[in-house]
Structure 1
Amino acid sequence: MSVGVLAGIVVGAIAAAIGLFKLMWRVAEPNEALVISGSAHKTEGIAEGMGFRIVTGRGTMVLPGVQAVRKLSLDLNETQLNVDCVTHQGIPLRVKGVVIFKIGDDFVSIANAARRFLDQQKMMPERVHIVFAGHLRSIVGGLTVEDMIRDREKLTGQTRAACGTEMEKLGLIVDSLQIHEIEDPTGYIKNLAMPHAAAVQRDARIAQADANLRATEAEQAAFARMSEATRDSEILQAGYQAERDKAAATARQAGPLSEAAARQEVVVQETRVAELEAQRREQQLQADVRKPADAAAYETRTRAEADRDARISAAQAKAKETELAAAAEATRVTTAAAADAKATEARGLAAATATRATGEAEAAATQAKGLAEAASAQANGLALAEAAKAKGLAEATAIKARAAALAENQEAVVAQQLAENWPAIVEAGAGAFGNVEHMILLNGAEGMSEMFAKALTMGGTGLGLARQLLSTMSQSTPTPTPPAETPTNGSSPATSHQIPIQGA
C-alpha cells in the first residue's frame, strides 16, 4: 500500500472521527437547558429514577439513536394581566398589569418545567395568566378601592406571595409583577377624586388670582415709579431752570445787591452794639436792684414761715397738754365718784339694816303684847274691851313707827341706789362729750372740773337718772292702814295684819 493511500485513509479516519464526535457532542447555550432522555445517569439535586438528564452551560456526549436531546429555553417570558375583579365594597374593577417570569436556574425548577412545558413552551404565558388571575381576584375581594389606590405595593406583594407556591411547582420564578392600571367602569374612583380635584382647582384659581394680583400690583408700582421718575425729572428741570433764572437775575442785580449788603452790614453792626449795651444795662440792674430785693424777700418769707411753724407747734403742744390734763381730771373725777358711791352704798346698807331690826323688834313686842292681852281677856272677860282698845292703839303706833321708819329710810335707799348707779351716772354725764374730737380749755384742769360738774348737776343726763330713781322710790312707799274699830258687842278681837316694808 502506497504512502498516499495510507495518508488518505488516515485523513479519512480522522475526518470520520471528527464528524462522529460532532454528531455525538451537544453544547447547552447560556439561555437554554439540554434535557437528555434515555440515559441512566444521575443529575445533581434530582432524585433517582427521573429517567432524564439536564445539562446547562456546558457540553455533553449523546449517543445518537440511544438518547434523545431536547432544548428548554431559559429566556424571560411575560404575560399581560387583564382581570375583572370585585372589591370588598362590591365595586367592579378591571386590573391591568404584567408578569415577567422565567424557568428557574436550579435543576429542580428545570425538571419541573421540563415535565410540564417541554413541548408546550408557548402555553406558559396562558397558564401563568390563569394562576395570577385567580389569586388577583381573591386578593382584590378582600381590599377596598382606597387601599388599592393608596398602597399598590400591598396588592403586588400579596399577589406574588399567593402565587409563589404554585409557580414553584411549575418550575417558574417571577422576576417582576407590575400593576399598570386600575379601570373603574362605575366611575367610583373618579367621584372619589372629585373633592381633591375641586380642592386642587380651587387652590389653582386662588394661586392664579394671587399671581394676577401681585402682577397688577407690580405693574401699578412700576407705573407709579415711572410717574415719580417723570415728576422728579420735571422738578429737577424746573429747579435747574430756576437756578439759571436766579443766576441771571443775580448777575443783573449784583451791583445794587452789593450796595444793599454793605448798608445791611452797617445796620447789623449798629444793632449788635445796641444789643450789647442793653445787655450790659440789664446785668447792672440785676446786680444792683433785683438780687438784693430777692434776698430781702426770701429773708422775710423764711422768717414768716418760721414764726408760723413755731405758733403751730406751740398750739399743738398746748392742745396735747390740755387733752392729757382733761383725761387725768376725768380719771380723777371717775375715781372720786366711784369712792363716794361705795361709801354711800355702805351707809345706806347700815341704815337699812338698823331700820329692819327696829321694825322687827316692834313687831315682836306688839305680838307679845297682843298675846298677853288675849290671855288676860280670856282670864278676865270684863277687861276685854280695854285690851282690844290697847291692842288697836299699839298696832296704830307700830304702823306709824313703820311709816316713819320707811320715810326715814327712803333717803338711805335712794342714796344706796345712787351709789350703786353712780358710775353709770358719771358715764352718762361724760356722754355729752362723746362727739367732741378736739377741745381746747383755757383754764386747764379747773375748766374740765367745772364742765363735768355742770354736766352732772344742771339738767344733764346724770340728774335725769337721779330724778328717775327718786320717782320710782316715791311710788313704792306704802300708805298707812287705819286701825280697826273695836267691837262693842263682846265678840272676839280682830286679828292684826302686818304690812311689809318695801324698799328696806
Structure 2
Amino acid sequence: MPMVIGVAAGLVLAAIIVLVGLFKLMWRVAEPNEALVISGSKHRTEGLGEGMGFRIVTGRGTLVLPGVQAVRKLSLDLNETELSVDCVTQQGIPLRVRGVVIFKVGDDFVSIANAARRFLDQQKMMSDRVHNVFAGHLRSIVGGLTVEDMIRDREKLTGQTRAACGTEMEKLGLIVDSLQIHEIEDPTGYIKNLAMPHAAAVQRDARIAQAEANLRATEAEQAAFARMSEATRDSEILQAGYQAERDKAAASSRQAGPLADAAARQEVVVQETRVAELEAHRREQQLQADVRKPADAQAYEKRTLAEAERDARISAAQAKAKETELAAAAEATRVKAAAAAEAQATEARGLAAAKATRATGEAEAAATQARGLAQAESAKAQGLAEAEAIKARAAALAENQEAVVAQQLAENWPQIVEAGASAFGNVEHMVLLNGAEGMSEMFAKALTMGGTGLGLARQLLASMNQNGDAPNGQSPAAPSPRSKPIPITEEVNGVRN
C-alpha cells in the first residue's frame, strides 16, 4: 500500500512537471522593444484585413501551440543609416550631401504588420532600403534648388525630404524620428567662390579699421609731442621768470640802504600822523562823553516816557474797548432776554386786552344803547321844555322887551366882557396914560367898540337864540378862546410903573 501511494505521488509530480514544462514551452512574452508575430491560424487584428494568417502581440504574454503556430520576433529598436548622396543643383553644380536618418518600426499594429511582411527575415537590410529611398528623393529635391537656397535654408531641404519620403516610409511600416543634413560638399569650389566677395569685404573693412587705428595713433603721438613742446616752453618761461625775480632781488639788495632811510623817515611821518589822529579821536570821545551822551540819555528818557505813556493809553483804550464790548454783549443778552419776555408778556397782554376789549365792547354797546334811549327821552323832554320856554319868552318879550333884554344882559355879562376884551388879543404891549382914568376910558371904549353896548348885547342874544340857547343859561354858548395876558404898563405924568 505505501508503494502504491509513492507511485501515485511520483506520477502526480511528474504530471505537474510535464504541465509546467508544456506551459513554459507554449507561453511567449513580448519584450518592450519587440513585437511577437504569431502565424499558423486565422486572427482578426484591428486595422488589418481578415484572414491575414498571423497575430501580433506587444508588451504582454500569449500561448502558442508548438507544431501548430510559429512565433517570430520583430525588433522595435531605433535604426540609423548614413546618407552620402551625389546631387546636381538647379544651376548644374555637382554637390555631395551628407546626413543621417534615424528611423524605427511604427508602434501601431498596421506599421508592425507592414514591416513584418517586408523585413521579418531581412531586418539587417532595412538600413539599405531606407538609404535608397532617401537618396532618390534627396537628388530630386536638390535638383530643384540653388546652392544659395541650400546654404541659407537647410531646414527647407530637410522638411521637403521628410515630406517626400513620408508616404513610402509609411508603406514600409517605418517612421522617421530624425533627419539631419550634416554637410554639403562642393568639389568645384562654387561655395568658396561665393564667399570670396564677403571675405574681400571683410578684409577691406579690416584694412580700413587698421588704417583708422594707425591714424588715431599718429594723431595721439603728435598731440603728445605738442604737449611735450608746450611743457618745455612753460618750463623755460618759468625759469626766465625765476631769473628775473633773482635779478630784481639783487637790485633791491643793492638799493636797500637808501630805501631803509626813506622807510625810516616814512615811518616817523606815519607815527606822527597816528599820534595826531589819536589826539583827535580822544577829543571826539571826550565830546561824546560830555555832550552827546547826556543829550542821548535825555532823549532816551523822554522817548521812553512817551512810549510808556502811549502804551498806557493804548492799554487803557484796549481795556475800555474790552469792557465796552463785554458790556455790549451783556446788554445785548439782557435786551434779547427782555425782548423775549416782553414778547411773551405782550402776547399775554394782547390776549387779555382782546378779551377785555371784547367784554368792554359788549358792555359799551349795551351802555350806548341805554344812553341812546335815555338821551332820546331827554332830548324829547328838553325840546318840549325849550318850546314852552321860547313860547313864554316870546310872550314876555312882546309885553316888556326892555326888561327881558336887561335880564339877558345880566345873565350873559361875562361873555359880553370876554367878547369885548378879545379886541386886545393881538396886542403885546400897551401904554396907559393918566393912571386909573386911562384904564377906565380904555375899557369903556372896548365895550362900546363896534356899536353901543345894547346893540352888542342884542347881537349876542340873537346869536344865542339862533343856536337854541335858553335865556336862563341852561345851554350857554362855548366861550371864545382866551387871549394870552397882555402886559400893561402904567405911565403917570410920563413915568412908567
Question: When the two structures are superposed, what TM-score results if normalisation uses the length of structure 2?
Answer: 0.46
Largest Rg, 1 or 2:
2
Q: Which has the higher contact order (CA 8 A, sep 6+)?
A: 1
